[in-house]
Every structure is written in structure tokens, then in C-alpha cells.
Structure 1
Amino acid sequence: MLSRLAPKLAVAWAERIFLTPPRHDWSEVERPWLASAQRAWLHTNGLPVAAWNGRPMQTYRWGENRRGKVALLHGWAGRATQFHALVEALVADGYEVVAIDAPAHGASPGRQASLLHFAQALARLVRNEGGVDAVIAHSLGGAAAVYAMARYRLPVGKLALLGPAADVAVYARQVGAALDLDAEQMAALRYGMETRLGVQWAELNAVSRAAELRLPGLVIHDRDDKEVDHQAGAAIAAAWPGAQWHLSQGLGHRRLLRDSAVIAQVRTFLAA
């Protein structure tokens, strides 16, 4: 209704919805990992909106570095402890695991986030560690990891993506359809956000950015993923020189993170 009566206000509202992730409480299985982590804070910097900088982000650390160090980046509306099954396996293998809650996610304060927030969060985490042997990222975190690796050339040995998103424009179209925005209003939404963020959406596309990557890669996506179509992962893997591609089935978007076969594939990839 608002899109018809006050188009400009509707576009502004759509942008706010686009940048506001829903929050969810920690599950019972995550809480022991939340309690057992060594926790600290990093702060945002280098983001295009002044009010977004200097904000605290919660970091986590598990295990000892006997075989290497692995960094984790969650997806939209996610949090670091969603990787609990993978953390358990990696710590048992002798890896030190570090992770971060992106702004407005998990234990990190704030109300707004974007792919740029995620990319900066990963960059801050990796650089704070002086580099890591591998990054494992899920969903939007996967797209952000590809962008961060291509844009900032982070000191990372390997990159594994689980159910990665590829194009922020897809999510924007979903928001626009839910709010009944017409083509003109969608164009205004895109132009306004590109102007505010100082980057075109095309520059954030994980498929085109994946072609720039030169580190070993693994992409796993589930055929039954209803939140991010598996074709996104397939396209990223196809564009990424030398990347390994695996298509699972029956796991959906989040069970991918705790499936034993997926975890085994990631462990094999890291050990190779």
C-alpha cells in the first residue's frame, strides 16, 4: 500500500528492511560452545557509512594451533556458533578455530548489516590473526568471503564455501517482491544503496569475483537448499579456477553445517 501512496518512503523502508537482519536466540546445542569459547572484541573500520565504523564485533576462539588456524564466517541472520559441529571436528583434528559475529548478528550489537559489513568483519578477523590457513564461510558469508579475498587479497591459504550466496540483487528482488515495489522503485532502491555504499552491486557478485581467486577452493551446496539456489554455488565453482565442487542432497541450507559427510569433505580439503 505504501509503495502506491508514497513511493519514496516505500523505497526508504525497503532499504531499511534490506539492511536489517532478523535475530534468533542460540539453540541449546550451541550454548556450550558459546560458553567454552575464548571471547574478545574487534571493531569495524573502513566501512562507507561513518556511523557504521567503530562498532564492536564479538570474536570466538576454540582449540590449540597444532595443525593450523581456521577462520569461520556465518551467513545472514546467522552467528558463529552455528558451526559447532564443524568446530568440534576441527578442534579434534588439532586446528585452532577463530570466528566472528558480523555486526547486528549473534552477540555483536547493531541493527544494520550488509555484505560489506561481512567482508570487513572477515578482513578484521584474518588480519588480527596475522593470516589463517583456511576460511570456511556459509551463505552470505560465502559471497562476502569471495569479495574480501578478491578485493583485499587477505593472507588465507584455502577457502571453503558452504551453500554460498552469489548475487545480492537476488535478495533485493525478493524484498522488492514482498513489498510490491515496481521496476522504477526497485531501480531507485538499487541506485540509492549503490550511492550510499560507494560500490555497485555488480562488484559484489561472487561469480565474477570468484574468477579472480587463485587459492585452493571448495564449494559445497545442497540440491534442496530453498534459501539459496544450488546454482549459485555451481556458478561460483565454475568461475573459480581449480575449485572443487560437491553437490549434496536432502540437507537444505543449514543442516549442511552439521552433516557428517560435509564435515568429512571439509576436513579432507583442509588436510590435503
Structure 2
Amino acid sequence: MKKLKYFILTKSIGLYINSLSYIRPKKASHLAYRLFSEPRIGKLTKEKLPLALQDAKTETFYFNDNQFESYFWQGNENVILLIHGWESNASRWEKLLPYLKKTGSTIVAIDAPAHGLSAGKEFNVPTYAAFIDVAVQKFQPNFLIGHSIGGAACVYYQHKYQNNNLKKMVLLGAPSDLKTLITNYVALLSLNNKMVQLLENHFLQKFKFKFDDFSGQIFGKSLTIEGLIAHDIDDTIVAFDEGKKIASSWKNATFIETKGLGHSMHDDELYQKITSFLVGAKR
């Protein structure tokens, strides 16, 4: 019954947007973009922080009119910056944190735009990358770990900002192509071709790029640091081929295929491989 209600709701919204595209195209494109870019879950409150974040020092940063939150665990000179994905927050690293702490490293995690304790309602990768850059300038990380769209943001960040101090990057279940995400969104709402063009025009005006141009596979060509890309063949959120696309163009990246982990990628063996890749395993 829930699936039926969800199906009817999404198709009804799509029908409304399609109809609106003929009479008020600008409003239609803004509505379609808003539904695409506003997370429904993932927010936190300071009064009810998840247990994984309660022992961290917190600091609020600002980028233009945006406010975002960081979490900090002091360690040695090795600094690891954690970048979570869509409709999540910094607490998603709860199961990986013990492995990273065993290495003695300093660990930093941030909440994405419109997630966790960070302000705003809109999420997009360019703004997320700008958040990452602010955190990088403050904490000077050697390593980045990104999950899902957070992984895509890491790739775009390094492509755009070319951080020479960054040594290694880990991507978990990361999508490559914006076009793929848009195609899935269009199919979910059954948007018509006119609406798709309006949406692309909106992206072009707002971000100065077309759907086909925003691709981890393209950005990967400019990456020279070492990389570790892990993707699960049973991932039903981000297709396995998306991870392979990024790996195909990133010359210094190693690809790990997993099975049975789904999109979360929580796994003791994988986490041991990640810590060994970054700073060497310590018991």
C-alpha cells in the first residue's frame, strides 16, 4: 500500500510539473530543481546529537551566506576528512570511526549543506565542494573519504581546487554522472522532454554546466593523487557501473568490487583495507 501511495504521489507531482511547464515554465523549472535538491531527512539538533558525535569537538564555519558544522577528533599529524552523502550527516561514519581512531589520526567530519547541523534547504555538489575547501583550509587534511554523493563531491573538489597537499582519497558507492541522477529523477516523476530541457537550462544558468559535462569520469582524468574506489555490485541506490566509470579515468586509483554490502558499504574487512591504504593498519 505504501509503495502504491508513493507511486501515485510521485506521478501526480510529475503531472503537475509537466502541465506547469507549458504555462509557467520558469516556475516549473524552479519547482523541479527544488524537489531534486532539497533533502527530506538527515537534519540533526544539538540537543539530540547521535552518540558517535557526542565526544567530538564542534566548530561552525561560514561560506558566503552558508553555515556548516564540523566535528573534530584530535590525533596525530595525519588528518582524515570525512564527507557523507545525500540525506545523511556526519554520524554515518559511526562504524568506520573506531578503525580510523586506532590509526591515531586526527579525524574531521562535516555536515553537508542542508544536512546535520548545517544550515540551508538546498544541496548541490558545487556548494558542498566549497564547504570542503573551507574545511581543508582550516584542518589541512592529508586524506579524504567520501560516501555516495559525498564521494562525487570529493572528486569534483579535487578536480576544481587541485589541492597539492592531499595525498589520498577513498570513494565508497560514489556516483559518477549527473546525467544518470537526472535520468533517474526524470523517470521517477515521469517528466516530459520539455521539462527536462527546462531543468537543464536551469542548471546551465545556475552552475554554468550541462548535465553531460558534470561527470566524475571526466573529472577523474585530472586527478593525480592515489585513490581507492569501492563499490558494491548489489548497490540499488547508485549503480555499480558508476564507480567503474570513475575508476576508468583515474589512473592512480584502485577499484574494489564488493558484494552484499549494498549502498551503505559498512564492512569490517573493507574498513581494514581503507585504513591500510591510508596510513597502514595498526592494532
**TM-score of the superposed pair, with normalisation by structure 2:** 0.86
- Code of the residue aligned with 1:6 in structure 2: it is L
Aligned pair partner of 1:32 in 33, 46, 51: 51
Is 1:5 equivalent to 2:16 in the alignment?
no
1:116 alignment partner, SS class: helix
Identical-pair percentage = 28
Show CA shifts across 1:120-157 (max 9, x none): 1111111112x211100011111111111011112311
Alignment-derived partner of residue 237 in structure 1? 247
* Matches of 1:271 and 1:5, distance apart in 2: 55
Aligned pair partner of 2:69 in 58, 62, 65: 58
**What are the within-5 Å matches in structure 2 for residues 1-272 of structure 1?**
1-7=15-21, 8=25, 9-24=27-42, 31-44=50-63, 53-65=64-76, 68-129=78-139, 131-154=140-163, 155-254=165-264, 256=265, 258-271=266-279
Show CA shifts across 1:100-125 (max 9, x none): 10110111121111011221111111
Q: CA RMSD in A?
A: 1.6
Show CA shifts across 1:41-90 (max 9, x none): 1112xxxxxxxx32210000114125x11001011111111011211111
Show CA shifts across 1:198-249 (max 9, x none): 3333442101110110000000000100000111111111210121110000
User: Residues 126 and 203 (structure 1 numbering): CA distance in 2 closer, same or farther, change over 3 Å?
Assistant: farther
* Matches of 1:99 and 1:200, distance apart in 2: 30
* Matches of 1:206 and 1:81, distance apart in 2: 25
* Matches of 2:182 and 2:245, distance apart in 1: 19
Matched residues, number: 257
Show CA shifts across 1:9-67 (max 9, x none): 433211111111121367xxx822221110001112xxxxxxxx32210000114125x
* Matches of 1:137 and 1:21, distance apart in 2: 18
Show CA shifts across 1:166-219 (max 9, x none): 112222122222222111210110111221123333442101110110000000
* Matches of 2:18 and 2:123, distance apart in 1: 27
Query: Which sections of structure 2, spanning at least 5 residues, go unmatched?
Result: 1-14
User: Residues 119 and 25 (structure 1 numbering): CA distance in 2 closer, same or farther, change over 3 Å?
Assistant: closer
- Code of the residue aligned with 1:54 in structure 2: it is D
In terms of mean alpha carbon deviation, does 133-142 or 3-12 score higher?
3-12
Whether the aligned pair in 1 keeps the contact of 2:43 and 2:114 (CA below 8 Å) is no
Structure with greater Cα Rg: 2
1:181 alignment partner, SS class: coil
User: Residues 147 and 25 (structure 1 numbering): CA distance in 2 closer, same or farther, change over 3 Å?
Assistant: closer
1:70 alignment partner, SS class: strand
Whether the aligned pair in 2 keeps the contact of 1:226 and 1:253 (CA below 8 Å) is yes
* Matches of 2:148 and 2:126, distance apart in 1: 14
* Matches of 2:80 and 2:210, distance apart in 1: 30
